[in-house]
Amino acid sequence: MPGDITVIGVDADIIRSELSTCLLTSVLPDAESVAGAAITQILQRIEEGGNAQQSSTTIRIPPKGLHYGESAPFYHSADPLVAKALRWMESHLTEEIGIDDVALAAGLSRRSLEYQFQQSLDCSPYQKLLSMRLERAKDLMLNTNKTIQSVALECGFSNQREFCVRFKQKMGLTPSAFRSAS
């Protein structure tokens, strides 16, 4: 199966992901919200005297998010060299890497890498790396209780000050304000 085809499933079945020859991404359902909505519906029917009539109201519960397995990269490009660079960047987000490191990993000169990124993604490798780090930071801040310092270091920033400046430039809020608002 071609590498540019992705299959979307539910619940991130690890065995199926490992045996698949194509890219797999899974929707992560919000089981707690589904269970809560079901209990609410049952209790409403009990209060109504056990009326067995089916409700015509559809309850939509958005998923928690997506799970990108090892075979399904979050960042992609139709250009195989850019895709290779993106995969390498994604797997080294926690490290203090530079664009020269990315170019070396992709087998390109820095100038060629920058040209390929501009053609494929309409941004520089540095802009993409920064964006990837900040997206990872947002995820950590929303889904963990890690300190701002820990998040900064885990996302490849050399210090908390640099992280806070970049985060505010991109998000319009400081990391603390972002976390409080969420």
11: left (phi over 0), alpha (psi -120 to 50) or beta: left
**Mean per-residue pLDDT, 140-154:** 91
Higher pLDDT, 58 or 20: 58
Q: Which pLDDT value is given to residue 73?
A: 47
**Mean per-residue pLDDT, 145-171:** 93
DSSP H helices in 48-91: 80-91
Which of 46-50, 93-97, 148-152, 175-179 shows the lowest mean pLDDT across its residues?
Answer: 46-50
pTM of the model: 0.60
Higher pLDDT, 27 or 107: 107
Domain that holds residue 15: 6-68
CB 20 within 8 A of CB 54: no
96, 126: one domain: yes
CATH code of the domain in which 103 resides: 1.10.10.60
Which residue, of 68, 95, 119, is where some domain finishes? 68
Kindly tell me if the per-residue pLDDT of 67 is higher than 80. Answer: no
91, 157: one domain: yes
d(CA 71, CA 51): 48
- Number of folded domains that form the chain: 2
Higher pLDDT, 70 or 24: 24
Kindly tell me if the per-residue pLDDT of 81 is higher than 50. Answer: yes
- Per DSSP, the three-state class of 87 is helix
**Helix 99-106 and helix 80-91, axial crossing angle in degrees, nearest 10:** 130
**Mean per-residue pLDDT, 115-119:** 94
